[in-house]
Amino acid sequence: METDKPFDVLIIGSGIGGLSVGIILSLLHFRVAVIEKNPLPGGLMRSYQRDGLDCPVGIHYFGSFGEGESLRRMCDYLGVTDRMTVERMGKDGPIDRYVFDDFTFDLPEGLDAFAASLGQTFPEDRQPIATIMKSLRTLADVQNSFAFLSSSPPSLDMELLAPLWAYLTQIHCSPRLRSVLGVASRWLGMSETECPVLYHHLALVSYLLSSWRLRGRGSALAEAFVTRFKDLGGALLCGDPAAAILASGNAIQGIRLASGKMLAAPRIVAAIHPKTVLTMLPDGAVMPRHARRIMRLDDTEGLFAAHVVLDAATHPAQSHNVYRLSADRDGLLKDGVFYQLRPAGGDKSLLMIITNSPFSEWRQWEDTTTGRRGEAYDKEKARRAGRLLKGAEGIFGSLAGAKVLDAYTPLTIRDWVNSPQGSPYGIMRSSRQLSSEAALHRQLVGGLYFAGQNALSPGVLGTLLGSFQAVRQMIGYDRFSREIFAKLLSGEQKRAC
Ligand SMILES: Cc1cc2nc3c(=O)[nH]c(=O)nc-3n(C[C@H](O)[C@H](O)[C@H](O)COP(=O)(O)OP(=O)(O)OC[C@H]3O[C@@H](n4cnc5c(N)ncnc54)[C@H](O)[C@@H]3O)c2cc1C
């Protein structure tokens, strides 16, 4: 596509957020360009290779991709479903196994199976389980009908905005039940004392309805979105970061790239972190009180991850994930490590291990860039990876012969996708921050829209919902309802693809 002529919309960031907005707008015949700072598109979707093996970064598993479920319907609308190679988890066993110091809980597929499993494991919690299941079933309907995107979003009980921990205490859950339910708040990068019940329940429901992981490479997923976008006529400009957003008065004019090239458009969708967006706007473009609110928002805490290659004969792939967890006597989760043992091709398996690691632990290398952080950093990564490997033996037995392929830190994520302090899930959607993050839903400058995981919620599902919400904000509800919402619900778009 000719890039010297003005575009209708410029999108900053080619993660799943930016590319999906690009696809939706292209389907509506907007002339769109996606701008990506990295040489390759895809953001956190894209995996990388070590020793010829594929190492995923930001997509380990996701929910609600079953026929008729919300993520599947959005992918159908985008026209990417048939380009994705995925496998269903939890068909012949659990989706997740939670291993605590003194008990184990298996998370099954299906709301009924979950209710039964909770009932068997926690017979003394009959009443709180009934209360929680009622809420989960209501929210499953809300999610599957895209009620939050409709003209009359559902009115919510105020208790759904309270932190999960306070709610579970209020309905008299036992400590063990609290610790089991607390895990889903970690999927959103929050502790159960911070995570609103609403976000927790929506995330849990989405995985209970059906859980999936990629069968192929993460890069193949990125390419599925890229090719669909390009097939629809979208322009993708990689390797040249957006450096400044050009605005005059309260109107967007375009973008200046780091190379100095100017791109003109009356609308911009920023599918990157909002704090970065503020630094790109001209002084005074945003009301200081809105800017302050956004700059003060806390982000989710960093992660440390190791990729380990194992002999598939002794350690075959498992179709469920394992969480090794510790909780205090009240059931509040203290430590957690996530494991996924997946096929790596041939006679190899890949063990992915992820745990929390705040940015402060890596601050001494803050001013370094990827590949040039020095020996001490490499040693620290190797030390931590070794420790994680040792811990993994408690779950998987002897890992003699295992080889650590690679490890990444919050600095890696920061530099790969420009996320402040390597925050994996962006802004923390905690109960405490709900009113401040509302600043993200208003138009700070005429023609500027937020998308990506910071618009609504993180994860594949949350990010895609945020893309549809951003487009709804741009084109208005009437057009959205006619040209998108009806097709999302009916699946008509998929048949047309
Ligand atoms: C370790 C980890 C594990 C995760 N696991 C899961 C999981 O199992 N399931 C799940 O659903 N979610 C998971 N997530 C979350 C999920 O990956 C994200 O919510 C989602 O991918 C975010 O997509 P995005 O488009 O908002 O952002 P990104 O993928 O970060 O894309 C933003 C893009 O913008 C680009 N960019 C930034 N600044 C500029 C600029 N100035 N100019 C041009 N381009 C720019 C970046 O390079 C990047 O490509 C995980 C995240 C992490 C970090």
What is each CA distance from 451 to 13, 163, 277, 334, 360, in whole angstroms? Answer: 9, 25, 11, 32, 28
Specify the pLDDT at position 280: 97
Each residue's pLDDT tens digit, 23-64: 999 999 999 999 999 999 999 999 999 999 999 999 999 999
Whether the pLDDT of residue 493 is over 80: the answer is: no
Q: Which one has a higher pLDDT value, 284 or 168?
A: 168
Whole-number mean pLDDT of the chain?
95
Report the C-alpha gap between 209 and 226 in whole angstroms.
Answer: 28
Residue that has been written with the tokens 């990068």 in this structure: 189
Tell me if 59 CB under 6 Å of ligand 1.
yes
**pLDDT given for residue 167 in this prediction:** 97
Closest CA to 15 of 301, 474, 417: 417
pLDDT, position 263: 97
367-372: list long-range contacts, CB under 8 Å, 24+ apart. 368/411, 369/415, 370/411, 370/412, 370/415, 370/416
The C-alpha R_g of the chain, in whole angstroms, comes to 22
- In this predicted structure, what is the pLDDT of residue 155? 82
For residue 1, the model assigns a pLDDT of: 60
What CATH code would you report for 9-85+216-298+426-496? 3.50.50.60
- CATH 3.50.50.60 positions along the chain are 9-85+216-298+426-496
Q: Ligand 1: does its nearest atom lie under 6 Å from the Cβ of 466? A: no
> H/E/C letters for each residue in 235-291?
EEEECCCEEEEEEECCEEEEEEECCCCEEECCEEEECCCHHHHHHHCCCCCCCHHHH
What confidence tier does 230 reach under pLDDT thresholds 50, 70, 90?
very high
Q: Kindly give the interhelix angle for 197-209 and 111-121, rounded to the nearest 10 degrees.
A: 110
The pLDDT of residue 490 is 85
pLDDT tens, 470-488?
Answer: 999 999 999 999 999 999 9
Q: How far is the CA of 426 from the centre of ligand 1 (A)?
A: 9
Return the minimum-mean-pLDDT range out of 83-97, 149-163, 270-284, 422-436.
149-163
pLDDT at residue 439 above 80?
A: no
Please tell me the predicted confidence (pLDDT) of residue 91.
Answer: 84
Report how far residue 319's alpha carbon sits from residue 30's, in angstroms, rounded to the nearest whole number: 41
Q: What percent of the chain has pLDDT over 90?
A: 88
Per-residue model confidence (pLDDT) at position 250: 83
pLDDT higher than 60, residue 496: no
Ligand 1 lined by 22 (C-beta under 6 Å) = no
Q: Alpha carbon of 255 to those of 106, 140, 417: distances in Å? A: 49, 40, 19
Residue with tokens 């269903």: 88
Ligand 1 pocket test: which of 340, 417, 468 has the largest number of ligand atoms within 8 Å of its C-beta? 417
The answer on pLDDT for 443 being more than 90 is no
Instruction: Please say if the pLDDT value at position 405 is more than 70.
Output: yes
Cα of 343 vs its chain's centroid, Å:
22
Task: Tell me if 215 sits within 8 A of 85, measured CB to CB.
Answer: yes
Is residue 494's pLDDT more than 70? no
Lowest mean pLDDT among 81-85, 154-158, 227-231, 265-269: 154-158
pLDDT at residue 139, rounded to an integer = 95
- Tokens, residue 4: 């010297």
Q: Is 141 exposed, middle or buried (0-12, 13-18, 19+ CB in 10 A)?
A: exposed
Between 126-144 and 197-209, two packed helices, what is the crossing angle to 10 degrees?
Answer: 80
Helix (H) or strand (E) holding 229: helix 218-231
The alpha carbon of 13 and the centre of ligand 1 are apart by a number of angstroms equal to: 9
Residue 154 binned pLDDT confidence (cut-offs 50, 70, 90) = confident
CA distance linking residue 264 with residue 373, whole number of Å: 37
pLDDT per residue as tens digits for the range 102-132: 999 999 999 999 999 999 999 999 999 999 9
- How far apart are alpha carbons 220 and 224 in whole angstroms? 6
Q: Predicted confidence band at 158 (pLDDT cuts at 50, 70, 90)? A: confident
Q: Is the pLDDT of residue 179 over 90?
A: yes
Task: Supply 64's token pair.
Answer: 């609600």
Tens digit of each residue's pLDDT (9 = 90 or more) over 360-396: 999 999 999 988 999 999 999 999 999 999 999 999 9
Predicted pLDDT at 156:
80
CA distance 179 to 375: 39
Ligand 1 pocket check for 356: Cβ under 6 Å: no
Q: pTM of the entire structure? A: 0.97
> By alpha-carbon position, which residue is closest to atom 33 of ligand 1?
13
Residues 391-413 have a mean pLDDT of 96
pLDDT given at position 491: 76
246 vs 211: CA distance, rounded Å: 42
Q: Token match 């079933």: residue? A: 137
Cβ neighbours of residue 260 closer than 8 Å, sequence gap 6 or more: none
Among 413, 458, 454, smallest CA distance to 43 is for 413
pLDDT band of residue 142 (cuts 50, 70, 90) is very high
Atom of ligand 1 nearest to the CA of 35: 43
Our answer on whether the CB atom of 182 is closer than 6 Å to any ligand 1 atom is no
Nearest CA to ligand 1 atom 50: 58
Question: Stretch 346-368: mean pLDDT, rounded?
Answer: 97
Residue 257: closest CA among 54, 19, 3: 3
Q: Which of ligand 1's atoms lies nearest the C-alpha of 60?
A: 8
CB distance 453 to ligand 1 below 6 Å: yes
Q: Is the CB of 467 under 6 A from ligand 1?
A: no
Q: Give pLDDT, residue 3.
A: 63
Instruction: Please check the confidence at residue 240 and state whether its pLDDT lies above 70.
Output: yes
Amino acid 290 reads: H
Of 40, 64, 385, 19, the closest CA to residue 205 belongs to 64
Q: What tokens were used for 148?
A: 């939050």
Beta carbons of 449 and 268 less than 8 angstroms apart: yes
Ligand 1 pocket check for 95: Cβ under 6 Å: no
